[in-house]
Amino acid sequence: MKELVKWVNYPRSSYYYKPSNNRKGIPTSTTTTKRDGTEVSNTEVVEEIKKILSAEFVCYGYQNVTAVLRAMDYIINHKKVYRLMDESNLLLGKVISTHGQRDFVKFRKITASRPMEYLCLDIKYVWVRGERKNYYLLSVIDVYTRRIVGYIYQSSIRKIDVIKLLGRLHQLYGLKGVFVRNDNGSQFIANMVRQYLRSLEAHQEFTHIATPEENSYIEAFHSIFEREVISRYDFESYYESKQTIVSYMDFYNNRRLHGSLKRKTPMQVWNEYYQSLSTDKQLSAEVSEDMSRVAEFADTRLALDRSGDTASFDYRLMNENYNEKVLSSFDKSVQLIGG
């Protein structure tokens, strides 16, 4: 065999090598040591990394994350941090792979019948001349009222930022059953964002490629923002631009008149809708003759409705001294406002 491999100019070590199914080198560590000698699982380290990256305005790569972890007394090098972040899809600049079919827009024009029925979101570049760089403004508009219900403004916008913004909106208004329309930006098509919206039972729909007219409501707002802010101001710093945007969002929602809203502001339309609902009106009770004889029942806050629905009532609240006839008459008379 020695002669044969020599004739064919093939190393004997390669001929005798038997490949194994195990990973080459020493096994990867499953824990990380801290300066006080305690061992922490890599799962906990990944959770710490997520907390670091979830802070407002934080947009760190693995080198900066390593520095922060070391400041937290972790004994860890940048290679291990890179591996942990790579395995958890936390690295900046990584290509986002998606799976599953996207629901594309079926109708370009949205006909909304109430607030928080349709939301549109998109990202706008904001040039800061003093720093010679772009910052990013992600805005969410309510189609019915044209109100900007949420926005974030920072040096970069990733999928976790989109999730945090949607999470705030869900806490404030609830996104169950809401239609969320966006383009095909990497932040929006990310599996994590799509799964999060599905968990909230919201309906996410995507515009077709190169068709901004399908997201015309937020595009119109960005056109207004371009004309009224970006074209009129030269920003020297991020702080200056942020203060201007905060002021403008307040002006846009509360004082700027809209032609499409019959010269009303978004907040006027928003408030008028909810004030028009019967649940938000102060309704007075119509007290029957039988009920008027029972003084203790005057503060039950039950109102009458002509729909015929009988109110459910807790008899433990009633005085035991009243006879069955009064109780029966009262039960037939009192009716509860629907809703």
Residue 5, exposed/middle/buried by CB under 10 A (0-12, 13-18, 19+)? middle
Q: What is the CATH number of the domain that holds 179?
A: 3.30.420.10
Q: Do residues 268 and 296 share a domain? A: no
Residue 186 lies in a domain: yes
Alpha helices in the chain (DSSP H): 2-7, 12-16, 42-54, 62-71, 78-87, 159-173, 186-189, 191-199, 216-225, 238-254, 266-276, 289-292, 324-333
pLDDT in tens, 67-88: 999 999 999 999 999 999 988 8
Residue 201's identity, in one-letter code, is: E
Q: Same domain for 138 and 170? A: yes
Interatomic CA distance for residues 273 and 260, integer angstroms: 16
**Whether 167 and 224 share a structural domain:** yes
- Helix-strand-coil split of the chain, %, nearest 5: 45, 15, 40
53 vs 204, residue with greater confidence: 204
Between the ranges 21-25, 243-247, 304-308, where is the mean pLDDT highest? 243-247
Task: Provide, rounded to the nearest whole percent, the portion of the chain with pLDDT above 90.
Answer: 57
18 falls within a domain: no
Instruction: Say how far apart CA 250 and CA 57 lie, in whole Å.
Output: 21
Note the pLDDT of residue 224. Answer: 95
Kindly tell me if the per-residue pLDDT of 272 is higher than 80.
yes
As a whole number, mean pLDDT of residues 25-52 equals: 89
Mean pLDDT of the chain: 80
| Shared-domain flag, residues 247 and 151 | yes
Those residues with Cβ within 8 angstroms of residue 176's Cβ, 6 or more apart along the chain or in another chain? 200, 201, 202
Q: What total number of domains does the chain contain?
A: 3
With contact defined as beta carbons under 8 Å apart, do 170 and 196 qualify?
no
Q: Domain ends where: 225, 241, 272?
A: 272
Most trustworthy range by pLDDT among 41-55, 225-239, 296-310, 311-325:
225-239
Query: 225, 245, 272: which is the final residue of a domain?
Result: 272
Which residue among 68, 87, 106 closes a domain? 87
Look at residue 277 in the predicted model and tell me its pLDDT.
83
Quick one: DSSP state of residue 155?
A: S
CA–CA dist 289, 298 (Å, integer): 12
| pLDDT score at 315 | 36
Range of the domain at 185: 118-272
Q: Is the model's pLDDT at 298 over the cut of 50?
A: no
Average pLDDT over residues 292-307: 35
pLDDT at 99: 60
Gap between the Cα atoms of 171 and 175, Å rounded: 8
User: At residue 127, does pLDDT exceed 90?
Assistant: yes
Could you tell me whether strands 118-128 and 74-75 are parallel, antiparallel, or unpaired per DSSP bridges?
A: unpaired
What does the pLDDT read at residue 97? Answer: 54
* Same domain as 134, residue 265: yes
Name the band, by pLDDT with cuts 50, 70 and 90, for residue 312. Answer: very low
- Claim to verify: residue 136 and residue 266 sit in the same structural domain: yes
pLDDT digits (tens, 9 = 90+) for 79-120: 999 999 988 888 876 655 556 677 787 777 888 899 999 999
**pLDDT number for residue 109:** 82
What is the pLDDT averaged over residues 303-323? 38
The reply to whether 161 falls in a domain is yes
Q: Which two tokens stand for residue 220?
A: 């119109």
Q: How far is CA 2 from CA 14, 15, 17, 135, in A?
A: 12, 10, 14, 67
Q: Which tokens go with 94?
A: 């990584």
